[in-house]
Amino acid sequence: MYYCGNDSLLFYLNDWINFEITVQLFPMKKTTLIGISGGSGSGKTSFIRTLRSKFQESSLCIISQDDYYKPRELQIHDENGVKNFDLPESIDLEAFLHDVRLLQSGQTIERLEYSFNNELATPKTHVFHPAPVIVVEGLFVFHIREVFKMLDLSIIINAKPSDKIIRRILRDQKERNYPLEDVLYRYKHHVMPSFEKFIEPYMDEVDIIINNNISYEKGSRVVTAYIESVLKDH
Q: What is the DSSP letter of 159?
A: -
Q: What is the pLDDT of residues 27-51, one digit of tens each?
A: 446 899 999 999 988 999 999 999 9
Provide the angle, in degrees to the nearest 10, between the axes of the packed helices 44-54 and 217-232. 40
Sorted by sequence, the CB contacts under 8 Å of residue 109 that are 6+ apart come out as 99, 102, 103, 127, 128
CA-nearest of 154, 204, 156 to 32 is 154
Mean pLDDT computed over 149-155: 96
Count other Cβ atoms within 10 Å, centred on residue 175: 10
Higher-scoring residue by pLDDT: 71, 227: 227
Q: What is the dihedral of CA 182, 187, 191, 195, to 10 degrees?
A: 180
pTM of the full predicted structure?
0.83
Which domains does the chain carry? 1-28 (no CATH), 31-232 (3.40.50.300)
